[in-house]
Amino acid sequence: MPVSRTMSSKSSQENSEDESESPSPDDVLKILITTDNHLGFAERDDERANDSLIAFEECLQIARDENVDFILLGGDLFHDNKPSSHIMLECINLLRKYCLGDKTIEFKLISDEKVNFSSTVQSNPFPWANFKDPNLNIGIPVFSIHGNHDDPSGSTPLCPLDLLNSCGLVNYFGNLSSLENIDIHPLLFRKGQTNLAIYGLGSIRDERLHRIFLKNQINLLRPTNQPDDWFNIFVIHQNRVAHGPKNYIPEQFLHEFLDIVIWGHEHDCRLTPEFNTVQKFFVIQPGSTVATSLSEGEQIQKHAGILHIYKKTFKLQQRPLQTVRQFYFVDINLSDHIDEKALKTLSNSKLEQKLDKILTDTIDELLVRAEKEHTGHPKQPKKPLIRLRVDYTGFDLFDSFNDIRFVQKFSDRVANAKTMINLHKKREQSLLKSHEIKLDPDAIKISNDQFKNAQRVEHSIQTYFDSTTENNRLRLLDEKSMLAALTEFIDKDEVYALSTMVEGQIEQTQKFLSNQIHTDDVAFLEEELKRFKMLQNVDDDQANQRRRDLLTVARKERLKINGDRSYNDDDDDDDLMVTQTRRTKNDDSDNENDDDDAFEINSMRPTQKRTQVSTTAGRGRGRGRGRAKATPIATPRGKRKPF
């Protein structure tokens, strides 16, 4: 059942009139919101290959049935920044099927599209929204930022959304030309009496964005003409949950004038708007439409949202998706099922039989439940995903539990039979064992803290190396490079990142030794090695470039083996640090000053002193058919760095 809720945003909270009014549909912007569709996830798994496409299609179907004005995506439309041709084709087919058509566009986009859509590497030859293109017949425009999976990468940073943008199927926004002093120009929509500003920021490495926020270098530009009449939405794709001190974006970093933050990247569906009492805005986290991991959060019912905006108020309808593969996550604690007495008296094989029965019964129950809870939608897959997290602390004999034989029993009924069972032991237990094999207690403590605070492993390793004694540090390899490789391995599945980084460093070290040192004195050599390693273990441009180069080698290595994953071999140097360099566009717009929608945009952030930037906006056009050129509008004057 769709849940419907009405909220009034801060500036109208005193104004109850807005809530009692029943607005005319001509004044209400209706937007379908969804994020993290991860097209192409598990593409090579016969069972699950189409899951991501099916769920995305359902979202598009809802958009069409609900007659929304447009679709807003929060990033990670694709699971990969180089999706396979198959996935790209299916995506294009879906967008073409659902988003093209004769439906009338009933809103106006009145911001400077040259600035909004200056996302491509080359100067964008089509700097206007797709529905204004006289050669395209768009019924439902799609607006999207990029996520961390489909982010721009390569020497000319491109992402799959650039392709869809050039096809005229998606309006890609929120890509920045520079990461210094970020100015975010909103998309400005007008429908009847409603004015909506949407700010978008494509995914940036969290630590980096964290730093940018701390330096107060993010500036959301607001219309100076009646700025309070605008409903303000910010779409971002970052960690919301802290994975380390700087590895997320705290809500209090975001600007207070916002009404809603649409938060992509987090996969748990938390579509019910959550009010931040300090910042006085709502956060809406749509979550993913396909489970990309077997974690607890992914089993929450997945939804698409339909956001209704009327003046300064909004309403959110939640539409549970009917085609998403069912997923059941269950925790089992063996000590709840097998008592100490049994453990002492029963033979190992009897105990194994007992374990087998506990797991089998649980799975059988879940399968019955899955059948009952199946939506009946013809496209919803029949086999569910199941994850049993089994705590076997105290039952060491199950270390050798033969789960391969066990899972075979279910391979016809469970989509992920091979990954169904996750045997784990309580942390404390494994720590005790670790002490026995004399692991560094500092490392154990840090890893324990990491586990408690759910930090990222790279962070813990960095903490360890920063604090440990010289004897415990790596002798040959530099730690910063190894962390860069580890991050790449974890975040991007770059399977050769670690081996390439090790080989590359060994090679560099050998070169250094053979070029500069001519001695047999081992002690001296060791000193020199140490010195060379220290020189390498820095965070300067040169060192970072060297790391990037090696990671590029790793990527090429992988592409050589999985050649089918790449459609552009020249474009495969992945930029670890997400520096996005782009030629600045030559802005040779003839500034056409239409009068009635004209307004000014200024900077709202007081810390950065800036003369008011006055811009003029062109008349918004519902559909600019017959015009070869989009309305040139809002060319910021007196700004040194245009997008």
Residue 517 CB burial class (10 angstroms; 0-12, 13-18, ≥19): middle
Long-range contacts of 19-25 (CB under 8 A, 24+ apart): 19/313, 23/310, 23/311, 24/192
147 binds Mn ion (CB under 5 A): yes
On whether the CB atoms of residues 203 and 239 are closer than 8 A, the answer is no
Residue 464 Cβ, how far from Mn ion at the closest point, in Å?
Answer: 27
On whether the CB atoms of residues 326 and 366 are closer than 8 A, the answer is no
Residue 450 Cβ, how far from Mn ion at the closest point, in Å?
Answer: 21
| End-to-end CA gap in the chain | 44
| Of residues 455, 461, 502, the one with CA closest to residue 481 | 502
Please say which residue, 147 or 384, places its beta carbon nearer to Mn ion: 147
Residue 44 Cβ, how far from Mn ion at the closest point, in Å?
Answer: 20
For the record, the structure tokens of 378 come out as 């013809």
Please say which residue, 241 or 561, places its beta carbon nearer to Mn ion: 241
Please say which residue, 142 or 309, places its beta carbon nearer to Mn ion: 142
Please say which residue, 173 or 532, places its beta carbon nearer to Mn ion: 173
Residue 248 Cβ, how far from Mn ion at the closest point, in Å?
Answer: 13
DSSP labels for 496-508?
THHHHHHHHHHHH
On whether the CB atoms of residues 349 and 85 are closer than 8 A, the answer is no
* Angle ∠(460,270,140) on CA atoms, nearest 5: 115
Residue 211 C-beta-side C-alpha neighbours within 13 Å? 7
Give the binding range for Mn ion (CB under 5 A) out of 52-60, 141-149, 431-439, 629-637: 141-149
151 binds Mn ion (CB under 5 A): no
Please say which residue, 490 or 561, places its beta carbon nearer to Mn ion: 490
Please say which residue, 75 or 504, places its beta carbon nearer to Mn ion: 75
Q: Which of residues 423-462 bind Mn ion (CB under 5 A)?
A: none
Q: What is the distance between the alpha carbons of residues 516 and 509, in angstroms, rounded to a whole number?
A: 11
Give the binding range for Mn ion (CB under 5 A) out of 88-96, 146-154, 224-232, 554-562: 146-154
Residue 567 Cβ, how far from Mn ion at the closest point, in Å?
Answer: 22
Q: What is the distance between the alpha carbons of residues 2 and 316, in angstroms, rounded to a whole number?
A: 10
Q: What is the distance between the alpha carbons of residues 142 and 240, in angstroms, rounded to a whole number?
A: 24
Q: What is the distance between the alpha carbons of residues 526 and 229, in angstroms, rounded to a whole number?
A: 68
Residue 411 C-beta-side C-alpha neighbours within 13 Å? 8
Please say which residue, 80 or 133, places its beta carbon nearer to Mn ion: 80
Helices (H), ranges, 379-476? 403-408, 427-436, 441-453, 457-467
Please say which residue, 236 or 316, places its beta carbon nearer to Mn ion: 236
The number of beta carbons lying within 10 Å of the beta carbon of residue 61 is 17
148 binds Mn ion (CB under 5 A): yes
- Dihedral (C-alpha) 293, 297, 302, 303: value to the nearest 10 degrees? -130
Q: What is the distance between the alpha carbons of residues 91 and 102, in angstroms, rounded to a whole number?
A: 20
Task: Map residue 204 onto helix, strand or coil.
Answer: coil
Q: What is the distance between the alpha carbons of residues 165 and 172, in angstroms, rounded to a whole number?
A: 6
DSSP labels for 237-268?
ES--S-SSTTSS--GGGS-TT-SEEEEES--S
Residue 267 Cβ, how far from Mn ion at the closest point, in Å?
Answer: 8
The residue with its CB nearest to Mn ion is 265
Please say which residue, 76 or 574, places its beta carbon nearer to Mn ion: 76
- Which residue matches tokens 């993913």? 288
Phi, psi of 525 (to 5 degrees): -60, -45
Binding mask 263-282 for Mn ion (x = CB under 5 A): --x-----------------
Instruction: Give catalytic status of residue 149 as yes or no.
Output: yes
Give the binding range for Mn ion (CB under 5 A) out of 145-153, 245-253, 386-394, 395-403: 145-153
- Which residue matches tokens 């002690």? 523
**Interface with Mn ion: number of residues (CB under 5 A):** 4
Q: What is the distance between the alpha carbons of residues 215 and 381, in angstroms, rounded to a whole number?
A: 48
| Of residues 286, 260, 256, the one with CA closest to residue 275 | 260
Binding mask 226-265 for Mn ion (x = CB under 5 A): ---------------------------------------x
Give the binding range for Mn ion (CB under 5 A) out of 38-46, 144-152, 315-323, 541-549: 144-152
Give the binding range for Mn ion (CB under 5 A) out of 108-116, 147-155, 226-234, 472-480: 147-155
Q: Which of 146, 149, 185, 265 is catalytic?
A: 149
Please say which residue, 110 or 324, places its beta carbon nearer to Mn ion: 324
40 binds Mn ion (CB under 5 A): no
Binding mask 56-95 for Mn ion (x = CB under 5 A): --------------------x-------------------
Residue 573 Cβ, how far from Mn ion at the closest point, in Å?
Answer: 22
Residue 143 Cβ, how far from Mn ion at the closest point, in Å?
Answer: 17
Residue 239 Cβ, how far from Mn ion at the closest point, in Å?
Answer: 9
Residue 266 Cβ, how far from Mn ion at the closest point, in Å?
Answer: 8
| Of residues 209, 212, 217, 258, the one with CA closest to residue 238 | 209
| Residues at the contact surface with Mn ion, assessed by CB under 5 A | 76, 147-148, 265
Catalytic residues: 149
